């Protein structure tokens, strides 16, 4: 757990904050569309973003449009593990029409799992996720299904595992890559990055942030490259609230 240190500097000009969404800012749920957002989260992120001079971004496997709809406003964000990103209102979008082979694979996946209750196919436009949280006894079937689809698509795509999910996405993607991209321009350039995540999909981001001299924070248990830990999304929201209210950076190490 993070221990506050009153001697840490209150000057926030040196920090850039990157936050995962599912399992980090909000609790993991059985169905991807059933996520519940705490009503205090959006104003909290707004206050903290102001304190950081705008150097706050969401870095998620969700599409940016999903994040906007749930949070009720547009923050800087990277969606679909970096396939799309938006900085200061300038969007580099996901274009599903650029992925015709993947579009065909989505239909094939849906047909393949149709008779297997609890296996969910989440179509994200430029990626597709196979979920088995509702059917843990079918985990190996789900993994094999995703692996076979990824192999059939060839080297332009890769498979990425998370908590009870396997996602097929373009090979040229990843949270570490997009965090590094954000750090190349204002207001992130020259700042020390902090990245908070909870899953296997965040480990590449932790590695990049660590290499850049930043601070990585893992939510929950499990082996990780992260420097620091917090127990739950509620713990993180409380920690961020104290920071936004004028406290020192809780992640300074």
Q: How confident is the model at residue 30 (pLDDT cuts 50, 70, 90)?
A: confident
Read off the pLDDT of residues 107-157 as tens digits, 9 standing for 90 and up: 999 999 999 999 999 999 999 999 999 999 999 999 999 999 999 999 999
Residue 183: name the closest of 51, 15, 46 by CA: 15
Span 215-224, average pLDDT: 96
Span 216-238, average pLDDT: 97
Instruction: State the residue for tokens 């993991």.
Output: 28
Distance CA 165, CA 212 (A): 29
Cα atoms in the Cβ-side hemisphere of radius 13 Å centred on 242: 15
Same domain, 163 and 224: no
Residue 80: name the closest of 7, 170, 149 by CA: 170
Span 201-211, average pLDDT: 95
Which is it for strands 192-197 and 215-219: parallel, antiparallel or unpaired? parallel
Query: Which position among 11, 20, 22, 101 bears the catalytic label?
Result: 20
Burial class (CB in 10 A: 0-12, 13-18, 19+), 155: exposed
Question: Does the pLDDT value for residue 10 go beyond 50?
Answer: no
Same domain, 107 and 226: no
Same domain, 100 and 139: yes
The first and second tokens of residue 236, run together, are 């993180």
Is 20 a catalytic site residue?
yes
Q: How confident is the model at residue 33 (pLDDT cuts 50, 70, 90)?
A: confident
Across all residues in the chain, what is the average pLDDT?
93
Q: Which domain holds residue 28?
A: 15-94+173-244
Same domain, 163 and 124: yes
The first and second tokens of residue 117, run together, are 């209750």
Same domain, 87 and 71: yes
Length of the chain counted residue by residue = 253
Q: Is residue 144 part of a domain?
A: yes
Read off the pLDDT of residues 48-71 as tens digits, 9 standing for 90 and up: 999 999 999 999 999 999 999 999
Q: What proportion of the chain, given as a percentage, has pLDDT over 70?
A: 96
Same domain, 100 and 159: yes
Q: What is the pTM of this model?
A: 0.87
Question: Does the pLDDT value for residue 8 go beyond 60?
Answer: no
Rg value, the chain, Cα? 18
Q: Is residue 6 part of a domain?
A: no
The count of domains in the chain is 2
Q: What is the CATH number of the domain that holds 130?
A: 3.30.70.1020
Question: Does the pLDDT value for residue 230 go beyond 60?
Answer: yes
User: At which of 119, 138, 170 does a domain end?
Assistant: 170
Q: Is residue 162 part of a domain?
A: yes
């Amino acid at each position: 757990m993070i221990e506050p240190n009153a001697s840490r500097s209150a000057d926030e000009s040196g920090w850039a904050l990157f936050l995962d969404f599912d399992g980090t800012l909000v609790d993991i749920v059985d169905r991807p569309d059933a996520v519940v957002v705490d009503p205090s989260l959006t104003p909290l992120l707004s206050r903290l973003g102001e304190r950081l001079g705008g150097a706050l971004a969401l870095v998620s496997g969700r599409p940016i449009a999903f994040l906007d709809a749930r949070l009720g406003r547009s923050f800087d964000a990277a969606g679909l593990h970096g396939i799309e990103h938006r900085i200061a209102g300038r969007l580099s979008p996901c274009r599903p029409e650029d992925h015709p082979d993947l579009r065909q694979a989505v239909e094939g996946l849906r047909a393949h799992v149709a008779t297997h209750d609890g296996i969910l196919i989440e179509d994200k436009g430029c990626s597709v996720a196979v979920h088995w949280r509702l059917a843990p006894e079918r985990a190996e079937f789900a993994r094999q299904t995703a692996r076979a689809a990824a192999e059939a698509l060839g080297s332009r795509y890769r498979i990425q595992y998370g908590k009870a999910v396997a996602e097929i996405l373009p090979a040229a993607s990843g949270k570490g890559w997009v965090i590094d991209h954000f750090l190349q321009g204002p207001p992130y350039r020259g700042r020390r990055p902090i990245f908070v995540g909870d899953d296997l999909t965040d480990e590449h981001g932790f590695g990049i942030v660590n290499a850049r001299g930043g601070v990585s924070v893992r939510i929950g248990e499990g082996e990780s490259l992260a420097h620091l830990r917090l127990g739950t999304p509620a713990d993180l929201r409380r920690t961020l609230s104290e920071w936004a209210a004028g406290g020192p950076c809780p992640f300074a190490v």
